[in-house]
Amino acid sequence: MSINSALMAGVSGLTSNAAAMAAISQNISNVNTVGYKRVQAEFSTLVNNQQQGVNYSAGGVMASTRNFISQLGQLQRTTNSTDLAIDGQGFFVTTEKAEGLDAGDARLFTRAGAFRVDDLGYLRNTAGLYLQGWPVDDDGNVALDPSDLNRLRSINVASVGGAAEATTRAQINANLKSSQAISAEAAAASTVPAGAGAYDPAANSMAQYDAVAGTGVKPDFAISLPVSDSKGGQRTLTLNLLKSAVPNQWYAEIVATPASDVVSGAPLADGQVKTGIIAFTQDGRLDTAAMAALGADALFADVADATLTFGASDAAAPGAGAVNWATDLGIDDQTVTLDLAAAAGGLTQYDSDSIVQAVITNGTPFGSLIGVEIDEQGFVTANFDNGVSRRIAQVALATFPSTDSLTSISGNAFRVSRDSGTYNLKAAGTGGAGLIAASQLEASTVDLSTEFTGLITTQRAYSASSKIITTADEMLAELINIKR
C-alpha cells in the first residue's frame, strides 16, 4: 500500500544521503592529498509502475557516485626536483613493484607525482608506486610505443654510476713573440748542409730535450693541452715551439707528457704525436695558404682539419707517423681537433711576449652523480659533479578516451575499466598528454567551502528522510488502532 511505499521511500532517502555523506567525508579527508580527484554523489529518482485508478506508490531515490578524474588541480611549487605534476590530461604510469615485471603485473595510473629516490635508486611516490618510463639508449634515443606497456621500465637513477667524456676539441688562444731570438739549433737547421747541433725533429728534437743530460733542443715556448681520455683519465699534450730562421715560421712538435703515454710509429719518437712547421702572415695571423703550400712539412697542411688521432691501447702496432695510446693505459681510440685559427684569437705571432691567453678543451674527468633533473618533455637527466649531464629515461604518460570512467583504487591511483577505454602511451607534450612540471605538485581538487555546504544540505535531507519514516509509522499506528 502507499504508506508502506512511503516508508521505503524514506529508507531510500536515508541510504542515498548516507552515501552522499560518505562521498563528502572522503573529499574532506583528502583535502591535502596530492593529485586527489573529488567524488560526488548524484541522485536519481526511482518511480514505481503506476496504473490508472490506483493510489500513487512512492519509489524513492537512488544515489550513484561520480568521479571528477578529468578535473585538473592547481599546480603548487615545491623544492624537490623529483616532484612532478602534469599540465594536461595525462597520467603517470606506475607499478606496485620495481623489478621482475611481466605482462600479468598490474599497471596503475596516477596524478600523484610526489616521487622520491628509494634505497635502490628507483623513483617511488608516497603510495609506494614506481614511476615507469622508456629507457634512453647509448645514442640518446628513445624507442616509444603507444600501446606496449612491456617496453616501459622502472626509472632508476642509481644505476647510472659515474660518467666521463673524452676530449674531442681543443681551442688555443696564444701569442708567439715575433722578435724571438733565433736559437743556435734553429740557425744551424737553416743551412745546407745542416750545421752541428742543428734542430731535427727525428734526430735532435724538442721532445728529446733534457737540460741535465744535455740532450735535445730547448723549445722557445711551450703550450700545455689537458686532455681527458675515454675513462676520464687526465693526459697532457704539449705543443713545443722553436722560432725558425725563416721569417714568420716556427718549428712545432706536439708531444705526450710523459712520453710513455703513447706508442709512436717511425719517424715519431720520444712521445711525439705530430711534428711540422707553423707559418704566419706578415700581420701576425696564421697563414693557412703558406701551410697548405708546405704540404707534408706543415704541422697541419689543412688548418681547418687540424686533427690528432690516437689508436686504442689494444690496437695493432702503429704504422709510420701514427700514434696509439700506451698498452698499459687500457683506453679507447680518440680524435682531438685543434682550433688554431679561432675568430676570437687563435695562434698568433705579434711582437709581444709569448703568452697563453687560454686553452679551452671539452671532455671531463670522472664525475659522481649529484642530482637528477626532469624537463617538461619528461626526460630524466642525471647530473654529475664534473659538469656532465646524461639522459637516463623519458617519463611515459597515458591518456584515456573516457578519463572519468577509470576505476579508483587505494593509493590515489586508477585502473583501466570497461567504460574508460584502453590507454594510449605518449611522450609529454604530445597528443594532449600535457607537459611535465618538475618541482611542482598537483593539489587536491577538493573545495572545502563546497564540501561544508554539502554537509549541511545532506544532513538536512537525511533528517527529512527520517521524518518520512516517523510520520508513516504514526499513520500505520492510527490504522492499527481502528480495531479498538
Radius of gyration of the chain (CA): 40
pLDDT at 343: 57
Residues 72 and 92: their CA atoms lie apart, in Å, by 14
Residues 326 and 7: their CA atoms lie apart, in Å, by 96
Q: Please, are residues 263 and 327 in contact by the beta-carbon 8 Å criterion? A: yes
Residues 217 and 198: their CA atoms lie apart, in Å, by 9
Backbone angles phi, psi at 219, to 5 degrees: -65, 150
Which residue has 637528477 as its cell numbers?
Answer: 372
* Dihedral, CA of residue 100, residue 104, residue 109 and residue 114, to nearest 10: -20
Q: For residue 466, how far is the Cα from the chain centroid?
A: 60
Q: For residue 151, how far is the Cα from the chain centroid?
A: 18
Residue-range domain boundaries for the chain: 2-68+445-481, 78-141+375-442, 163-367
- Which of these, 38, 63, 58, lies nearest to 47 by C-alpha position? 58
SS3 462: helix
pLDDT in tens, the chain (484 residues): 578 888 888 898 899 999 999 999 999 999 999 999 999 998 888 887 766 556 778 888 888 888 899 999 999 999 998 999 999 999 999 999 998 888 788 899 999 999 998 988 899 999 999 999 999 886 678 888 888 888 899 998 877 666 678 899 999 999 999 999 999 999 999 998 988 999 999 999 999 999 899 899 999 999 999 999 998 888 999 999 999 999 999 999 999 999 999 999 999 999 999 999 999 999 999 999 999 999 999 999 999 899 999 999 999 999 999 999 999 999 999 999 999 987 567 899 999 999 999 888 888 777 777 888 899 999 998 887 766 777 889 999 999 999 999 999 999 999 999 999 999 999 999 888 999 999 999 999 999 999 999 999 999 999 998 998 899 888 888 888 887 6
Q: Which residues of 224-243 are buried (b: 16+ CB within 10 A; e: fewer)?
A: ebebbbbebbebebbbbbbb
Looking at the domain that runs over 163-367, which CATH code has it been given? 2.60.98.20
Backbone angles phi, psi at 439, to 5 degrees: 60, 35
Q: For residue 265, how far is the Cα from the chain centroid?
A: 43
pLDDT at 161: 64
Distances (CA, A) of 136 to 212, 231, 393: 55, 21, 5
Q: Assign residue 100 a region: left if phi > 0, alpha if psi is -120 to 50, beta otherwise?
A: left
pTM, full prediction: 0.64
Say how many Å lie between the first and final Cα of the chain, rounded: 22
Residues 184 and 203: their CA atoms lie apart, in Å, by 16
Q: Please, are residues 370 and 385 in contact by the beta-carbon 8 Å criterion? A: yes
**Can you read off the three cell numbers belonging to residue 201?**
725533429
Residues 15 and 462: their CA atoms lie apart, in Å, by 9
Residues 265 and 44: their CA atoms lie apart, in Å, by 91
Distances (CA, A) of 379 to 29, 88, 122, 190, 437: 34, 17, 15, 61, 11
Strand partners, 39: 67
**How many residues are given for the chain?**
484
